[in-house]
A and B are shown apart, each in its own frame.
Chain A
Amino acid sequence: MVMAIESSRFGHVEIDPETVIEFPDGLIGLGGRRFALVATDTGGPIVWLHCIDDPTLSLPVTDPHRFFSGYRVELTDEDAERLGVDESAPVDVFVTVVAGSQPSDFTANQKAPILIRDGRGHQVINQAPGCDFRAPLFAEVQAGLGGGAPLFAEVQAGLGGGEDPAEC
């Protein structure tokens, strides 16, 4: 059986019930209980955490390890116990992304990653030092390209001539 969301952002989206992620506590300050990861760009680093119960609620998320070298998540003992995670359990880590009008304005929230394991998700406060609520998403990528000017220009040009979002 297939579930469907009439997404305000993407239109009709079909969800495999097996991929539904339960967030017992919702997202911090936002709520929501059942989400699914939706990709507009298969294999790309950005996926959308889409609420199933609220078709207007979706957030772009990404694997922070692709953008921030050395990124790690440290939990308080209370959180680790609450989530039932330990060092050996594989957990998928995502961070929320805030899109901007240009690439340098894109940020990711390193401080409140979303941990997903066995179909359950939790947004937690990362205790690791040096984490930022608004870490520039492309900072390392651009630095790695000798200042990132070519990439920056390309992305900026791309933003101006973006595809029709209705075709997602």
Chain B
Amino acid sequence: MLNITRRRGERIVFGDDIFVSVLEVSGQTVRLGIDAPRSVRIYREEIWLAVKRENEAAAGAAGADMPAALRTAVADLRRTAVSDPGTSPAPGINPATPRS
């Protein structure tokens, strides 16, 4: 890992268009300013990691039985008339249907 020492007000450049400034240093806390193109997504690491984990869990949970489990749970929910059976989950989107 590259280690760089910076003082307050100094910057680091990633490539030609991403600038990270040290705005403030106070005890254990460092405040950074990031100037990057709009297309660059910036996350606090713990947020990024939590979302990555949930995405992986959603994609992998319960293995091959998940569709059946979900279908059953959802069917039961519908039977209780909690959700409106007349509406699709997302107006304007036409989900493709797997061939049976």
List A residues at the B interface (Cβ < 8 Å). Answer: 7, 9-16, 19, 24-25, 27-30, 36-48, 57-63, 66, 78, 81-82, 90, 92-94, 96-101, 103, 106-107, 109, 111-112, 116, 123, 125, 133-134, 138, 141, 144-145, 151, 154-155, 158-159, 161-165, 167-168
Contacts and interface: CB of A to CB of B under 8 A. Distances in A.
30 contacts: A9-B64, A13-B99, A14-B96, A14-B98, A16-B96, A19-B95, A19-B96, A25-B39, A43-B89, A44-B89, A45-B74, A45-B89, A46-B71, A47-B90, A48-B67, A59-B55, A60-B58, A60-B66, A60-B70, A66-B89, A82-B39, A98-B57, A109-B54, A109-B58, A123-B55, A145-B80, A145-B82, A165-B64, A167-B100, A168-B68
B77 A97 contact: no
B18 interface: no
Contact of B51 (A29, A151, A158, A164): A29
The listed residue with most B CB atoms (<10 A of its CB), out of A27, A45, A125, A151, is A45
A99 B59 CA distance: 9
Contacts, number: 203
Given A13-B99, A29-B51, A99-B70, A45 B92 contact: no
Interface of B: 38-39, 41-43, 47-59, 61-62, 64-80, 82-83, 85, 87-100
Contacts of A100: 61-62
Nearest to A145: B80
B96 A38 contact: yes
Q: Which 5 interchain pairs have the tightest Cβ spacing?
A: A29-B52, A158-B72, A162-B68, A39-B95, A96-B58
Contact of B65 (A43, A109, A134, A162): A162
Contacts of A94: 89-90
A109 B68 contact: no
A96 B55 contact: yes
B38 A81 contact: yes
| Residue from B43, B58, B76 having most chain A Cβ neighbours under 10 A | B58
Given A42-B95, A163-B71, A96 B54 contact: yes
Given A16-B96, A133-B50, A40 B90 contact: no
Contact of B98 (A12, A30, A61, A93): A12
Nearest to B54: A109
